[in-house]
Structure 1
Amino acid sequence: MRREHRSAAEIEAQIQAQIHAARDQIEATRERVNKRTGRNIVAAFGIALVLVAAVLVSLLWIKTLFMVFATVLIGFALFELASALRFAGRDVPRVPLVLLGCAIVPVTWYFGAAGMWWSTLAAIGIVALVRLVELADVSTRTGAGSVFADVTAGALCIAYVAVLGGFTVLLAAQDGGQWWALAMILMTTVIDTGALAVGVWLGRHKLAPRISPGKTWEGLLGGAAFAIAAGIPLSVWMLGQEWWFGIILAVLLVTSATVGDLAESIIKRDLGIKDIGSFLPGHGGFLDRLDSILPSAVVMMALFQVTHA
């Protein structure tokens, strides 16, 4: 009886040891992946699912909700970028910049491209005027060159985040444009995910080591392969185009998404920071999540106009 009891206890202890060993191995693997990517992958995946779900509900249920959702995202991204610029020494008026930049989105939704351009000019002009009015305070007088750099930084925030983001809203506002906006968001998500997965496991050759040391050519090719695999069915079943259109779509969006990613990396490198913000666990900030989408929206809007001419 004692031998049987000891044997059962030993078996239980052995099982517990195996469970702990497996758990430790999983944790070690996750730590290696997080170290390689510089991200908490589990948190990043969870946040991505929430964002994709919000996009699906807003685009396919009541399109106006997408405009509201986009306004919120762009507002946070503008605040992040303006705050990062202020941290780097640029005196960017955050409150008027965020409010006026956000206003571009509903104006674009209701008044189209003309509304977007006029509201953009107004936003840049007012933000610049606010900075000039601040010169009445002696403590804000930093020289003509610095003031010009401050005004330029404000214009960059609006043009980079609000205007490019406005193209997504402009696309979704078109008749049937919600499907093109959804396809674009799904494609950029697939590209980012594919590039990350392949880059982590197979990445050896750096794509742009001085700009973004974590990106590799293997990751780029992996993202392209994933994009083609997703682009063909999306083009046929969602966009009503020929199968070969999916390949063109994949190539263009891989290019725009990579350019957007590298452009944000250049900004972060010049500012000396790792992430623009920290609102989204595993992603950094909102702009870190939108960097691939912003230029891709312009490409997708152009493709929509070409195919519907």
Structure 2
Amino acid sequence: MSELGIRVQAERAVAGTPRAGRDLPIAIGVGLALLAVVAGSLVFRKEGFILVAAAACGVALWELAHAFVRRGIHIPLLPLLVGLVGIMVSAYTSGPEALLVAFMLTAGGVVVWRVLDGTGPAALRDAAAGTFATAYIPFMAGFVMLMLAQPDGAGRVALFVLLAVANDTGGYVAGVLAGRHPLAPSVSPKKSWEGLGGSFLLAGAVGGVGAAVLLDASPVFGVLLGAASVLTATLGDLAESLLKRDLELKDMGRILPGHGGVLDRLDSMLLTAPLVHLLLLVALPAAAA
């Protein structure tokens, strides 16, 4: 084949590839299905959301455990899954003190479980990774349960989820349409400053409307909440990207077509949950009483 023919085929291949690397119709369909599941669990009985969240975090833990195997790290998955349920139920039923106690018990259980399998450098490394996994997924998810436990918990969690969706959607659209300046090229080459601006715009708008409609709160507070959530969501996304780069992975999994793994969808939400919970607790103390 001539050099010209090879060049033409290469240009066609590039032109046929989505600029942001996603199969957009499938990604939209999967995203809407996930939103429907979350909305259904919150509308019919908010306790049902605990099952949805526990299932999602359980799969995320499984993905993380399998990703660590690439570096010879084996975290004890069974005590992590048991501790995940304990952390979520404790946070929902008994509050922040129970969340902290359940986290400590889970982390301790993970360490003991691994040490019983043997000691040495590998055990220390596996135990440390297991403790990290406990803090990264179950503990952070526990703050969502604290939001859910409030009298207006369904509205708080719904606003939290919508802010996460707005952050991802605004960043994706702005990045595809106008992304020119990389935000952190060494960590996540596809993220751009223009995409970050899109996240701020959409999250601010969703926060303002959502706070007024879902929680009867000031739209100004909602805009500020949206802006703050973008900061933590971006940090969470970049942190997972750094982890995937170290593990030499593009996605944590393939369970969600067009999105990657479950942890790829939860990464920004996990770091954002404590912030949103605390800001809502400060701004709406009457509902938390």
If the length of structure 2 is used for normalisation, what is the TM-score?
0.90
Once the two structures are TM-superposed, the CA of residue 121 in structure 1 deviates from its matched residue by: 0.8
Q: 1:230 aligns with which of 183, 206, 214?
A: 206
In the alignment, structure 1 residue 77 sits paired with structure 2 residue 53: no
Higher-Rg structure is 1
Alignment CA distance shift 1:31-1:111 (3 Å): farther
CA distance in 2, matches of 1:130, 1:189: 37
Q: 2:150 aligns with which of 174, 179, 190?
A: 174
Aligned positions of 1:1-309 closer than 5 A:
31-33=16-18, 36-135=19-118, 143-144=120-121, 146-309=122-285
Alignment CA distance shift 1:205-1:275 (3 Å): same
Q: Which amino acid aligns with 1:307?
A: A
Q: Secondary structure, in 3 states, of the residue corresponding to 1:204?
A: coil
CA distance in 2, matches of 1:117, 1:161: 14
Deviates more, 1:234-243 or 1:211-220: 234-243
**1:58, 1:65 within 8 Å by CA — same for their partners in 2?**
yes
Q: Which amino acid aligns with 1:178?
A: A
CA distance in 1, matches of 2:47, 2:14: 43
Alignment CA distance shift 1:28-1:189 (3 Å): farther
**1:280, 1:286 within 8 Å by CA — same for their partners in 2?**
yes
Deviates more, 1:174-183 or 1:93-102: 93-102
CA distance in 1, matches of 2:13, 2:72: 40
Once the two structures are TM-superposed, the CA of residue 101 in structure 1 deviates from its matched residue by: 2.2
Aligned residues: percent identity? 37
Once the two structures are TM-superposed, the CA of residue 29 in structure 1 deviates from its matched residue by: 9.9
Q: Secondary structure, in 3 states, of the residue corresponding to 1:267?
A: helix
Once the two structures are TM-superposed, the CA of residue 123 in structure 1 deviates from its matched residue by: 0.9
Once the two structures are TM-superposed, the CA of residue 60 in structure 1 deviates from its matched residue by: 1.8
Once the two structures are TM-superposed, the CA of residue 88 in structure 1 deviates from its matched residue by: 1.8
If the length of structure 1 is used for normalisation, what is the TM-score?
0.84
Once the two structures are TM-superposed, the CA of residue 80 in structure 1 deviates from its matched residue by: 0.7
Once the two structures are TM-superposed, the CA of residue 239 in structure 1 deviates from its matched residue by: 1.9
Alignment CA distance shift 1:212-1:238 (3 Å): same
**1:67, 1:169 within 8 Å by CA — same for their partners in 2?**
yes
CA distance in 2, matches of 1:179, 1:273: 36
Alignment CA distance shift 1:212-1:221 (3 Å): same
User: What is the Cα-based RMSD across aligned positions, in Å?
Assistant: 1.7
**1:120, 1:163 within 8 Å by CA — same for their partners in 2?**
yes
Alignment CA distance shift 1:30-1:43 (3 Å): farther
Q: Which amino acid aligns with 1:180?
A: R
- Runs of 4 or more above 4 Å deviation: 27-30
**1:260, 1:295 within 8 Å by CA — same for their partners in 2?**
yes
Number of residue pairs matched? 274
Q: Secondary structure, in 3 states, of the residue corresponding to 2:189?
A: strand
Once the two structures are TM-superposed, the CA of residue 308 in structure 1 deviates from its matched residue by: 2.8
CA distance in 1, matches of 2:284, 2:80: 35
Identify unmatched segments of 5+ residues in structure 2. Answer: 1-11
CA distance in 2, matches of 1:109, 1:232: 27
Q: What does residue 9 of structure 2 align with?
A: none
CA distance in 2, matches of 1:278, 1:96: 24
